[in-house]
Amino acid sequence: MFESTSHEHNLLARASLDQCVKCTICETQCPVMAVTPAFSGPKFVGPQAERYRHGESVDHSLDYCSSCGTCTLVCPQGVKIAELNSVARAAMKKDHMPLRDQLISRTIMMGAVMRPVAPIANAVLANGAARWMIEKVVGVHRKAAMPTAHTRTFASWWKKHTPAQSATAGKVVFFHGCAGQYFEVETSIKAVEVLEHLGYEVVVPPQGCCGLPLQSNGIFDTARGYVKTLAERLNIADDVPIITAAGSCAGMLKHEAHEIMGVDDPAVLRVGGRTREISEFLLDLADRGKLPLDFSPINLEVVYHVPCQVKGQGMGKPALELLRLIPGLTVVDSDATCCGIAGTYGLKKEKYDVGQAVGKPLFDKVRDVNPKLAVCDTETCRWQIAAATGAKVVHPVWLLHQAYGLS
């Protein structure tokens, strides 16, 4: 496959275009189309408009697609609708990429800049006047959810960490992702502690960004470099599973690098085939009768929301099934299509209202079921739900960690 953003080279997705039978299932499920007429819908800008694209965009409402991937997921004919649209958008934005999109897609840079001055960074992001300035100058909506910076990184914890018990179950590589390094440090620590509790020897090779935020903003060239470098670092041996608590980054390694950006790099494909979101990995153990189920009860009712990029991996809702094994815990499936953040989409000042409208049914359900705590697998979705509802939103591994008596 060609690594290009030109439409002629978008072979994988284009090959699926003729399979569209115009059934409109994608349009009935698109969360953006449901809340704004600004987006003319996945079928229209996807398989239909694609026929008229010869290096030039024919429908600029494409920019309102959030890349949640729901259209591809629900298509019964296998049309790669979201992938077509992601490539078309990258081509459309190529020569005039907004500075804002350049900035917000560099998670490591944000984390590295914010960490040494975490209290100041957090104060600035909580300051209304500062946020107004940021909205005017950069284009990030003043109310959009921002990560909380920490002075401690996962790497600094890992350096001083020794496992509580010796390993008996074999080796796994832990892929923490950028957010798991800088912003969601606690989630990474709990994931490692659960894996070690289950007897795994956890290995953490040095690692960088998977390139997903760049990819979803259409900055493909840089993103391809990122994902290849990451794959080389994670690819320590052919038989070692790669476990992550960063569900959307797992999707990047498993299929998006290949299907959206045309990456055919052998290390990326090999690493993608071995990558497991931690709930997926643990549920597979449970299904084979190999997961200890000696959970302490957690007497709670919580909403669980599966992120679009976890759903897009076509494995159902492993965390939902897994959490239902914890006694006392009532897990309510959000049954919501999308939380509205879609990576960085809902941060943008012109899309913030769309994102909030997309997420409204989910927010209402969280407020209704348990306004204090909700569960979701990916970082930006957690930040979005937390900002909208005031609930604390945690990765499923937090509850497993507690149920195993580790917290």
Partner 1 sequence: MTDTIIVGAGLSGLSAAIRLAQAGAKVTLFTFGLGGIQLGQGTIDVLGYSLAGSRPTPADTAITDPFAAMSQHLTGHPGHPYATVPLASIRDSVDWLAALVPDLLTPGDGVNHMVPTALGGLRPTYLIQPSMTWSNPSSIAVVSPRQIKDFYPRLAAANLTKTAHVDAHGYHIDLPARPGEVDSSPVAYATALDRSDFARRFVELVANAIADEEVIGLPAILGLHPDTAESIARALGRPVVEFLLPPPSVPGMRLNVALTQRAKDLGVRVVIGSKVTGFTSAGAKVTGVVVAQAGRDQTYPCDHVVYAPGGFESGALTMDSYGGVRETLFDLPVVGATAEDLITGDYWADQRLFACGVAVDSAMTPLDVLGQPIYTNLHAVGGLLAGAVRWTEKSGDGIAITSAVRAADAIVSPGVTPTTNERTR
Q: Which residues bind partner 1 (CB under 8 A)?
A: 21, 23-25, 27-29, 34, 37, 72-78, 251, 253-255, 269, 272-275, 287-289, 311-316, 321, 333, 335
Compute the least distance from the CB of residue 161 to partner 1, in Å.
Answer: 29
Q: With respect to partner 1, which residue has the nearer C-beta, 244 or 402? A: 244
Q: With respect to partner 1, which residue has the nearer C-beta, 198 or 257? A: 257
- Let me know the angle formed at the C-alpha of 361 by 352 and 24, rounded to the nearest 5 degrees: 85
Whether 184 and 379 have beta carbons less than 8 Å apart is answered as yes
Q: With respect to partner 1, which residue has the nearer C-beta, 15 or 130? A: 15
- Let me know the angle formed at the C-alpha of 30 by 25 and 35, rounded to the nearest 5 degrees: 135
Using CA of residue 47, residue 51, residue 56, residue 60, what is the dihedral sign?
A: negative
Compute the least distance from the CB of residue 302 to partner 1, in Å.
Answer: 17
Q: With respect to partner 1, which residue has the nearer C-beta, 190 or 311? A: 311
The sheet with strand 300-305 has its strands ordered as 329-333, 300-305, 373-376, 392-394
Compute the least distance from the CB of residue 34 to partner 1, in Å.
Answer: 6
Q: With respect to partner 1, which residue has the nearer C-beta, 224 or 311? A: 311
Compute the least distance from the CB of residue 320 to partner 1, in Å.
Answer: 9
Segment holding 304, helix H or strand E? strand 300-305
Q: With respect to partner 1, which residue has the nearer C-beta, 131 or 311? A: 311
Compute the least distance from the CB of residue 315 to partner 1, in Å.
Answer: 6
Q: What distance in Å separates the CA atoms of residue 183 and residue 332, rounded to the nearest whole number?
A: 27
Whether 346 and 144 have beta carbons less than 8 Å apart is answered as yes
Q: What distance in Å separates the CA atoms of residue 144 and residue 345, rounded to the nearest whole number?
A: 10
Contact partners, residue 288, CB within 8 Å, separation at least 6: none
Burial category of 13 from C-beta neighbours within 10 Å (exposed 0-12, middle 13-18, buried 19 and up):
buried
Compute the least distance from the CB of residue 209 to partner 1, in Å.
Answer: 19
Compute the least distance from the CB of residue 203 to partner 1, in Å.
Answer: 20
Compute the least distance from the CB of residue 76 to partner 1, in Å.
Answer: 3
Q: With respect to partner 1, which residue has the nearer C-beta, 190 or 258? A: 258
Whether 207 and 234 have beta carbons less than 8 Å apart is answered as yes
> DSSP secondary structure string, 52-97?
G-SSS-S-GGGGG-----HHHHH-TT---HHHHHHHHHHHHHGGG-
Whether 375 and 395 have beta carbons less than 8 Å apart is answered as yes
Compute the least distance from the CB of residue 121 to partner 1, in Å.
Answer: 34
Q: With respect to partner 1, which residue has the nearer C-beta, 149 or 310? A: 310
Whether 165 and 126 have beta carbons less than 8 Å apart is answered as no
* Phi and psi angles of residue 246, each rounded to the nearest 5 degrees, phi first: -105, 90
Provide the b/e sequence for 221-245 (b: ≥16 CB within 10 Å): eebbebbbbbbebbbeeeebebbbb
Q: With respect to partner 1, which residue has the nearer C-beta, 137 or 236? A: 236
Q: With respect to partner 1, which residue has the nearer C-beta, 27 or 59? A: 27
Compute the least distance from the CB of residue 150 to partner 1, in Å.
Answer: 31
Whether 175 and 243 have beta carbons less than 8 Å apart is answered as yes
